[in-house]
Every structure is written in structure tokens, then in C-alpha cells.
Amino acid sequence: MKKRLALLTMAALLGVSAAACGSAGDTSASGDSGSSTTQESSSSDSGSSVANKDKPLVWFNRQPSNSSTGELDMSALSFNDNTYYVGFDANQGAELQGTMVKEYIEKNIDTIDRNGDGTIGYVLAIGDIGHNDSIARTRGVRKALGTGVEKDGSINSDPVGTNTDGSASAVQDGTLEVNGKKYVVRELASQEMKNSAGATWDAATAGNAIGTWSSSFGKEIDVVVSNNDGMGMSMFNAWSKDNKVPTFGYDANNDAVAAIAEGYGGTISQHADVQAYLTLRVLRNALDGVDIDTGIGTPDDAGNVLTDDVYTYNEEQRSYYALNVAVTADNYKDFTDSTKVYEPVSNQLDESKHASKKVWLNIYNAADNFLSATYQPLLQNYDDLLNLDVEYIGGDGQTESNITNRLGNPGQYDAFAINMVKTDNAASYTALLSQ
Ligand code: BGC
């Protein structure tokens, strides 16, 4: 199937973002600054007579929500009858991540406290202080290690900066008792990994941070934890691998899974193979006018079906959530290819019954390790199986208008899949579709 790949190189992206005058949250989409991009546009309309506002729409990976309170943006999630969100269960995954780190410490208690001071010190890389997944992971780790403090009814997820003396108010020292011996657990430092241009979950920033932290209190760092593998691997390669300090991430990206053989502590698979399928599947079903559960909880005509141990659907939130699995030294060999389609949903749809349709899809940041190295390759595998002709747009991770500028002609597409830069910005897209 013909596929239009419109991902830009990072250099080109930076050029475009510098030219774009809109800021994040800007609802205008003049399309002018996008003219310098390499996006290929098709000359004809999708041929559909459906109004843009009524076309199927799926939000994925970044759930429309208030970035301060986490409250879901239900007007975006129910923009029309064929609107859904696809992500994964952030709280279940966060608990798993925290438990995985705690169990590793318990199992390796004889060697973990590198300077033998009775305090197990860890540092934490935070992805995006306003992203629900990032907040959940910070909370999950603090909860499991006993370092969390409550704020407004839940665990405080604020970064602490440096806390080598244990005086920070956003965390507390935890205690862990193993084999009758008590240890203090301290969050020595944590920081949002945002670069100077504003891109969050920034791996390079995390690599620099571990450099700074290790040069001033490296001997106290016994464990490195990260909200994702992109940042985790950057810290592992910069410091922890050589210093044999277990490092934990999230996403089960290929490089991180491979690094488990070299001492990376572990990661969490958020079942991206199921999420990428669901992202395109809900669009396919809406375009076919069939029950939304087709090929999901109910087998389709090609035999594709998911079982409820890999996803849940919350009807009220119009959201599909994949379930997470911990990936450690015990099972990592089962996870070495994160871009492989999930076998139970790997059957090709018959094109005579499911005609090819055009989909506009964006990735918020072409440089995000998880989305570019795991999620997009999966989408590209499923788009063929589902007969969807997807145009992939890569953003710069900083400005919404860099992406919305490239949705200048929604009439050319049958359906839309959106990964916002900021979870608050759904209206920048729905405004374009409502025009
Ligand atoms: C992933 C991160 C990614 C972020 C982007 C999260 O679900 O785990 O790796 O950077 O989404 O939105």
C-alpha cells in the first residue's frame, strides 16, 4: 500500500518551529509557516461527503485533560459520536514500576547500598510535570519506596531539585526493612527533563542531569529511576552502566530491553502493540460503520480479536486503555522486538470489504524515543493490515501550531489521529475540524 511519510528531520523541525509565530495553545492554523515542510499533500479530496466535524477522531498517548488537575476534557473526548481516546492504564503501570524497583532493591540488598551508609539513594527523571502518565509514574515510585507525601489527597508529584540532606518538603525519607535490617530510602534529586526550547521528556537533558548529579554526589546514588526509557537510557549510557547502578525506565523500547542484559534494571511494557492497533482500529470501525467493538472484544471477519487481559474500555471516558507488564531480567527475552504486531490482531483485512481510507495522524515530537522508535513503526505495520493510507506528521514537541499548521486541509482525509503536544490543547484541533 502506498504510504506517505511526512516525518521531518529534527533540523527541519527546528527551522519550522522558529518560523512559526503561534504559541502552544494557539488555535489559528494559517498553514503558511507549514509551507516550508516536506509534507506531501494529496491533490484531491478524500471524496467523502462527510463534514470534517463528523469524521472519526482518535486522540492517542496524550489524553485531553487539564494539565494541572488531570481532569478529563470530556468535550474533546466526545467531540462527535466517533471520537475515542487510546492510551494505557497509567496507574496500573505506575504501581508496577514502583513495585519493580522496590523488589529489585530487596532482592539485591547485599550489594545495592554502594557506600554502605545505610541509605539507599535514588534519583528520578521526570518527563513532563503536566502529563498524566508522568505524574502517575512519579507517584508510583514514591509510593512503593515510601518517599511520597500527600498533597490534596494524592501523592505529591513535584520535582524536588536536589535533596541530598533529606530536607525537601515534596518528599520524605522512606524506610525499608529487609532481612531484619532497616534502611533509609531517599530521593536524592529529581527534575523535569525539559530542554531550553521547551521539549519535555528530553533524553539529552536527562543525560546532562546525571552528569551533574553524579559529579557532586555520585557515591550516594544507588538506583536511577526514570519516567521513561528515552531518558533512562540516556542516563544509563552516560553514567550508570559504567558505574553498575541499576536504572529503571518505562516503555520497553528495543534498546532498553536489550540493555537489561548489560545491567539496566528493568522497564514496563505499556503494550504499545495493542495501543497502536486500537488507535487505528477504532477509526477503521467508525469508517466501516460497524460496531466499535469489532476486532476488539468481538472477532472481525479476518479473525482479529483482543482478550480482556490486554486492554480495558471505559465507556464513560470514551477511552481504551492497554494494560502494562513489567519487563525485567526474568522475562526480557520475550520483549526484544517492540515493533512487532500483536499476534491475535495481525490478520489482514480484505480490501474489497474494507476499502482504503485516508487518515491524518501526528506524533507530537518526532524526537520522542517511545513514539518514534516503538509506536510509529507499529502504526505503520497496522495501517497496511487495516487498509488505511496514513499520512504521518512529526511535530517538534514544543509548539502545537507547528502541527496544526499542517492540518490546513482536513477535507482531504477521512479520519484523524491526534497526539497533542500539551494535553490541554485539544481545542486547537477541534476548532480546525469544526470550521
Ligand atoms: C511514554 C513516554 C513518552 C510520552 C509522550 C508516554 O506514554 O511512556 O515515553 O515520551 O508518552 O507523550
The pLDDT tens digits of the residues spanning 46-55 come to 667 899 999 9
Kindly give, in sequence order, each residue whose CB lies less than 8 Å from that of residue 352, ignoring residues fewer than 6 positions away: none
Kindly state whether residues 289 and 148 are assigned to the same domain: no
SS3 180: coil
Ligand 1 pocket residue status of 279, Cβ below 6 Å: no
Ligand 1 pocket residue status of 62, Cβ below 6 Å: yes
The continuous run of DSSP H or E covering 135 comes out as: helix 132-145
Ligand 1 pocket residue status of 133, Cβ below 6 Å: yes
Kindly state whether residues 314 and 430 are assigned to the same domain: yes
Kindly give the number of the ligand 1 atom that is closest to the alpha carbon of 228. 9
- Report pLDDT for 428: 97
Domain tally, the chain: 2
Kindly state whether residues 346 and 421 are assigned to the same domain: yes
Kindly state whether residues 378 and 291 are assigned to the same domain: yes
Ligand 1 pocket residue status of 300, Cβ below 6 Å: no
Q: What is the CATH number of the domain that holds 159?
A: 3.40.50.2300
- Report pLDDT for 368: 96
Kindly state whether residues 149 and 116 are assigned to the same domain: yes
How many whole angstroms from 228 Cα to the centroid of ligand 1?
7
Pocket probe for ligand 1: among 61, 194, 424, the residue whose CB has the most ligand atoms within 8 Å is 61
How many whole angstroms from 350 Cα to the centroid of ligand 1?
33
The pLDDT tens digits of the residues spanning 408-418 come to 999 999 999 99
**HEC secondary structure over 192-219:** ECCCCCCCCCCHHHHHHHHHHHHHHHHH
Kindly state whether residues 142 and 240 are assigned to the same domain: yes
Ligand 1 pocket residue status of 61, Cβ below 6 Å: yes
Select from 77, 162, 122, 85 the least CA-distant residue to 320.
85
Pocket probe for ligand 1: among 371, 372, 423, the residue whose CB has the most ligand atoms within 8 Å is 371
Kindly state whether residues 289 and 428 are assigned to the same domain: yes
Kindly state whether residues 147 and 245 are assigned to the same domain: yes
> Average pLDDT over the chain, rounded to whole?
91
Domain boundary among 214, 236, 269: 269
The pLDDT tens digits of the residues spanning 79-100 come to 999 999 999 999 999 999 999 9
Low-confidence ranges of the chain (pLDDT < 70): 1-47
Kindly state whether residues 302 and 366 are assigned to the same domain: yes
The parent domain of residue 340 ranges over 4-88+271-434
- Report pLDDT for 46: 65
Kindly state whether residues 145 and 256 are assigned to the same domain: yes
How many whole angstroms from 184 Cα to the centroid of ligand 1?
31
Kindly give the number of the ligand 1 atom that is closest to the alpha carbon of 62. 12
Kindly state whether residues 78 and 171 are assigned to the same domain: no
CB 421 within 8 A of CB 400: yes
